[in-house]
Structure formats: structure tokens, C-alpha cells
Structure 1
Amino acid sequence: MNKTLQAGSVAHAVAVLKKEEVIAYPTEAVFGVGCDPDSELAVSRLLALKKRPVEKGLILIAANYEQLKPYIDDSMLTPAQRETIFSAWPGPVTFVFPAKPSTPRWLTGRFDSLAVRVTDHPLVVELCLAFGKPLVSTSANLTGLPPCRTTEDVLAQFGEDFPVAAGETGGRQNPSEIRDALTGERFRQG
């Protein structure tokens, strides 16, 4: 039986997330796979699924800046740095912030920082608001395969039973740009 989460069934997606499971959902450019950032079990499942080493760290995607504050230390930002960040959000730009000391290593990996994004994708905003916090977000693809751009791509790579919040991506061709919140240095072109 296909467990595709129909559009509008955000409550079902939240129920899956609360069971410490991984879901797929559309983002600005590609489908992402995500889970509860506060659950080491859920993040371990996501890392195993992606065959991704924990040392690489992960991205959090949120409905608003408030959802990110428990994980990042924004006290080091100047007003000008804040203005630069907020001028890009909500949108497809990921910023790397200093992480709070309490932020789990299963999110930061080998870094003392954390990559975060306030999305403008309506389905993801709705999902994060309903879940009450950000989601871990990494591209939905198995190692060596291209990122999924449709629900069908996700089911082909991850199996017919994989829970997918069905919807359309934002239509962007490139993944989100990644920049350093403090220096503005660009790590990945968007």
C-alpha cells in the first residue's frame, strides 16, 4: 500500500514525524527528506537512509526565524548581518550560523555551526507550523542518484511505501544557495 500523504494531509505527516520516522516533501527546487531534529533516532534513520556520515552536519528548514532560535546562536550577529539574512528570507537561501552549545552533534556534525533556512514553500511552511518546529532537510536522493523532483521520483528511489507529502516543488532548478551568516561567504551557488 502506498503511504503517499495527500496534499492537505499535513496532520498525517506530523503524525509520522512524531513517530520518529522520515518523510519526503517538496522544497523550493527538489524534494527533501526530513525528520524531527530533536530525535537522535529519527536523524539516525535519515542518515542511514541517505548513507550520509553524521560528521557532515545537516540543514534545518523552518517556517519562521523563531523556530530556529533554539538551535542557533544569533547573539554574534551585527544589525547589518541580520538585515542581510532577513532580506533573503523567507526564500531559497541557507545560512550557516554559530550553533548553540546545546545543539546536538547529530545536527552539527563535526562543526560548531548549523545550516538553517526559513522557507517560502507553502507546504513546508504549513508542515513546520503544524509540527511546531523546524525539520531536518536534505535532498531526497540515494547516494549517486539525482535529487528527486516529483513524488514519483521519490517513490522510485525510496520505495512505494515511503511517506511523501505530495505536492509540487517551487520550480527552482538549483538547490538553495548556502552562505555564512557572519562573513557572507558563499559556500554553494544557488
Structure 2
Amino acid sequence: MSNCKITKKVFNVGQLDVLIDHLHCGGVLAYPTESVWGIGADAFCEQAVEQVLKLKQRPASKGLIVLTDHVMKIKPLLVDLPPQNQAHLLKKMSRHHYQNQAITWLVPISPSSHIPTLLTGGFNTLAVRITTHPTLNLICQKLTSDKNPYGFLVSTSCNIANQPPATTFLQAANYFGDSVGYLMDESLGFDKPSQIIDLSSGKIIR
């Protein structure tokens, strides 16, 4: 990261390789999600995740949602569970379909998965969403590497704490100006924030 120089701040969908370089260099990104705009970073770049928290004025104890592109990316998080339990939980995630509301799962994480505390807030679960947004799904694919084998992209609402989430590029830029990069794309038009479900118990948290 020390050899990186982040200069570009606005990316379109045809510039994903440059956008990925931005994320690999520790850049923060604001982007449209399934509903409102989100703000995030490469989930395994500690400096960038800390910057997300600082910009939002969000306490680290809350943890963060991460996006990934495929349910099988979740399997290593469950490695300490019996195989039949792993299969059951992965099947549960796979059979849910979005109906104008995305689903974020609280996934039990094995200690051997080495998920940073900044992401979990110190809890024994990680909030994960398999994104159906085509551009974000592709970003997660491109983020996948030895350092980030899950393809995790941090995804928290694009706002300062206690302010309404941005729903447009202009609102996002009004919050964060030149401090972050921006993906020029459209949301999926969902009118509700993601539903949060505990994967193990099935309990709806939100």
C-alpha cells in the first residue's frame, strides 16, 4: 500500500479495475446498493476500515456489514461446525430470495477464520449480505485474493452518524466530499433497508 497514490475519485462501471486498485490502496468508496447508498472499503485493509468508521463517526463496537458475491464464500467461516450443520446453514442462505428487501445474515464465525474485530465488533457473528447488485457483485469477485479470500466489501450506510443515509451521488458527496471515491451507478430501487436475520436461530433482528 505504501507505493499507492490514490488520485481518481469518481468511477463508472467500465472502470472497475481502476476502482479495485483504489480499494487495494486503502481507498474508501461510496456507492449505490440495493436501496440507499453505502460506504465501504476492502474489509481486510485495516487502515481503510478505520477510515470508514472515522468518517461516519461510528463506534467500532457496533461491527460492520460486509458484502460478498456468492454463498459458498461463507463456508470457511463455518469450518469448526460439523459438515451437516455447515450444509444446513448454507442451504438456508441459498433458498432465500430478495423481494424488494435485501437480507443480511448474522453468520457464526469460527475463530480459525481470522475475521478482524473491526468487522465483528467483538461479537461471535459477522453480518454478511450476498449482494444481488450486479456491479457490487462483480466488485466482490474482483476483490477476492489471498489477503481477502471472501471477497468482502464493507457496506455501511453512506451518512454521518445520526444523519439520514444518502440516496444520491450529490447527497453522498455532501457528506464526504473528496475524502472518498464514488461509484456512478444506480441502486436496485429497493425501498427498505436490508432485513437482518440470525443465521443459526432464524430470528429476525430487523
Report if TM-score (shorter chain) is over 0.5: yes
Identity between Structure 1 and Structure 2 (%): 33
Trace 1:109-128 onto structure 2 (pairs within 5 A). 109-128=121-140
TM-score (norm 1): 0.89
Trace 1:33-72 onto structure 2 (pairs within 5 A). 33-70=39-76, 72=77
Give the root-mean-square deviation of aligned CA atoms.
2.1
User: Does the aligned pair in 2 maintain the 1:60–1:117 contact within 8 Å?
Assistant: yes
Tell me how far 1:159 sits from its aligned partner.
1.0
CA displacement, residues 102-136 of structure 1 (integer Å, 9 cap, x when unaligned): 21111111311101011100110111112221201
Q: Does 1:135 align with 2:153?
A: yes
Selected match of 1:29 from 29, 32, 35: 35
The equivalent residue for 1:5 is 11
Q: Which amino acid aligns with 1:87?
A: R
Selected match of 1:97 from 93, 101, 107: 107
Partners of 2:87 and 2:157 in 1: how far apart?
Answer: 32
**Alpha-carbon distance change, 78 to 20 in structure 1, aligned in 2, over 3 angstroms:** closer
Q: Secondary structure at the match of 2:18?
A: helix
Q: Which amino acid aligns with 1:124?
A: L
Partners of 2:194 and 2:106 in 1: how far apart?
Answer: 12
Partners of 2:86 and 2:143 in 1: how far apart?
Answer: 30
Partners of 2:183 and 2:108 in 1: how far apart?
Answer: 31
Q: Which amino acid aligns with 2:175?
A: Q
Partners of 2:34 and 2:106 in 1: how far apart?
Answer: 18
Tell me how far 1:82 sits from its aligned partner.
3.2
**Alpha-carbon distance change, 89 to 68 in structure 1, aligned in 2, over 3 angstroms:** farther
Partners of 1:131 and 1:67 in 2: how far apart?
Answer: 12
User: Does the aligned pair in 2 maintain the 1:25–1:166 contact within 8 Å?
Assistant: yes
Q: Which amino acid aligns with 2:189?
A: G
CA displacement, residues 60-84 of structure 1 (integer Å, 9 cap, x when unaligned): 10111233344x2263636544332
Structure 2: gaps of 5 or more residues: 1-6, 145-150
TM-score (norm 2): 0.83
Count of aligned positions? 187
The equivalent residue for 1:144 is 162
